[in-house]
Amino acid sequence: MKVRKIRKTRKRAVALSGALAVIGVVGTATAFGDGTGAQQQRVEAHGSRVTVPVAGGHATLDTASLAVRAQADDGRSWQLSAPAADGLGPAGKASVRGNEATWRYPSTGFTVTAAARDGRLAVSVRSDRETTLNWPVTGGDPATREMQIPRGEGLSVPVADRWWNSPKAGLTGSEAGMSDGLTMPFWGTSLTGRHGSSYIAESDIGSTLKFVSTGGRLRTEARHAFSAREGTGDYRITFALTDGSPVAAARDYRAWLLGHGGITTLRAKIAANPEVGKLVGAFHAYTWGQARTAEGVRRLRDLGIDRMWLGYDADGSPMDAEAVALAEHSGYLVGPYDSWANAQDPDSADTPVSKWPSPVWPDACVRDADGKPVTGFGGRGCYVSSEALKRAEPSRHYLADRTREMTANGADSYFLDVDAAGELFTDRSPAHPMTQAQDRKNRLERMARLSGDRKLVLGSESAGSWANGVVSFSHGSGTPVTDGLWALERDRADWGGYAPAGAPAIYFKPVHLPDDIAKAMYDPRYRVPLYQTVLHDSVISTERWELSWSKLPDQSRTRALLAMLYNVPLNLVLDQSELDEHGEQIAASHRYFEPLHKAAATLPMTDFRRLTPDSLVQRTTFGAGTLTVTANFSTATHDGLPGGCVDAVIKGGKARRMCPSGL
């Protein structure tokens, strides 16, 4: 049957154009406005020194090496970047015009502009050659104490810590893409005293961040690949001086996003689609067996749970219309899992979502420089080109038909795997060529059709900040995954496989994480709410779906405390046995969480503090003191709060306490 094309609405187009402007794919990306205050001082050039005023002081660049130093108003000085790791060649003379200075490196073809914009040092490097630049090199100042990394929710790592400098931590030697390896394209440092630095990679595509250990201290090396073919000939980095808080860089990035119209709030999403409001106060759960039926929904209602997001995997057994109708009548959201990123031979595909009408397989596969299909995740099939699907949609309606089929049971939500997070692709196919920037633009447009035109409450995997305008929830952005986890998950004997069909061990079998993986991911001393500081009032974030609350019993108490502290829902996996064993405990945790989330889900996280020297007692604040949450991850009582407990105060009310037990 021919499906009527999905109509574009003006509201969706306006929202999407704002999102695209932030990532630099609509028009010409702008850096900052003229600003006021410190920015009104002059940029000056003297020999090889270029001095740029910034909020809280000034920054000085050495044109010979691209080394950058900060000078705070209180006289404190520190290194913002060591010299570039590459040979730049001799620098030409810097010329100053207005609030920016420009100079060239003739032998290597780089042109650099340094400007004062919105209280930040904004540096743009341009090259018309196929080349790379390893810069800035950060964290090397001896006074640097910690480094903030938006891996999942966020980490703040002591740079001189022996364990974090060792291979056991899985950080040193690793490299993360700014557009997909990190949830947000920034990082930060904290120095002794109340000083620190923030770095934002405006041009995230083509840029990576590498973690290096030298002399027992961690530092980072940013790297950008200049390519005319990829449209990455401009590399833009901003530097800011901060107060050294572990979330200061996140605050700076949030301010940058707001200045670029790059945050769509939950309040705006709820106004556009009231169904999004059902996420407020809701836990999330993927369902199996009885939990997918009307009887399973009744069990949740009988437990007193009146808000839930219920999802189901693409295993050929979706929730039926009766279960969906009852769930939605109960105030729940229901959504299928889907993926538009993988195609396999329909005769041997291992999942229904990888079966596409001919000729998607293999004509729509992403092709490499040799014309070969790019193998899909886990060695399965191929990655599907978003450009190929986009070009086919007006006549073939693959995506419209898929969406209609997946929601035929009345589902009002949708989980689209990978689109908001996954690896961006260059497609060398002559039939549907595509850059990584075009891939991201295509994904934003098709997600906007789901959440805008189709009015589906949309979520995706580990949603990057660039996707906040089109998704309302994100599964996985709460988890700071270390590479060791992937190796563990591939060990089916210990982790569990996809049997039995009604309750796959991969989701339900309890696993005891090795100490190093547990420490890298869940030690509260190193966890900081970077994602929440930036996007709490825009995207509801949870942990990964295969890491349900009961999957990791040793971390269940810590994860519950983190969820309450960050004001984010738990992500569960449910079947009959899970409800039998943990139903009352889930219901009790939900009763505690729901009023807190209703009070603060649509508000920004405005403060995060460590209250003890060991960093095991932490406090968050939302809005203008609307909600304050204090969590004690230690075993000792602090200021009346027992170890392993959390206190929450809604403004004008009394403290409410939860002391979650282990699973």
Give the 3-state DSSP-derived string for 68-132, with helices as H, strands as E and coil as C: EEEEECCCCEEEEEECCCCCCCCCCCCEEECCEEEEEECCCCEEEEEEEECCEEEEEEECCCCEE
Q: Give the C-alpha distances (Å, rounded to integers) separating 343 from 38, 202, 353, 375, 402.
A: 54, 32, 8, 10, 13
Of 193, 201, 209, 329, nearest to 253 by C-alpha is 201
- Is there a contact between 76 and 90 (Cβ–Cβ < 8 Å)? no
pTM: 0.94
Helices (H), 247-359: 248-259, 266-272, 294-302, 321-329
Q: Quick one: tokens of 253?
A: 């990035």
Statement: residue 428 has pLDDT above 70:
yes
Instruction: Of 246, 152, 7, give the one whose Cα is nearest residue 464.
Output: 152
Identify the CA nearest to 609 among candidates 151, 144, 245.
245
pLDDT of residue 317: 92
Dihedral sign (CA 400, 402, 408, 411)? negative
> Among candidates 525, 532, 558, 546, which has minimal Cα distance to 477?
532
Q: Quote the percentage of the chain above a pLDDT of 90.
A: 91
Residue keyed to tokens 């309450």: 564
Do the beta carbons of residue 226 and residue 131 sit within 8 Å? yes
Cβ proximity of 337 and 352 under 8 Å: no
- Given a cut of 90, is residue 128 above it in pLDDT? no
Kindly state the average pLDDT of the residues 484-505: 93
What is the rounded average pLDDT for all residues in the chain?
93
CA distance 102 to 91: 11
> What is the structure's pLDDT at 31?
30
Pick from 309, 354, 355, 314: nearest CA to 335: 309
Taking alpha carbons only, the member of 322, 314, 321, 326 closest to residue 287 is 314
184, 530 contact by CB (below 8 A): yes
Q: How confident is the model at residue 68 (pLDDT cuts 50, 70, 90)?
A: very high
pLDDT (tens digit per residue) in 310-327:
999 988 899 999 999 999
pLDDT at 33 over 90: no
**What is the pLDDT confidence band of residue 166, given thresholds at 50, 70 and 90?**
very high
Cα separation of 71 and 56, whole Å?
8
90 preceded by a cis bond (ω within 30 of 0): no
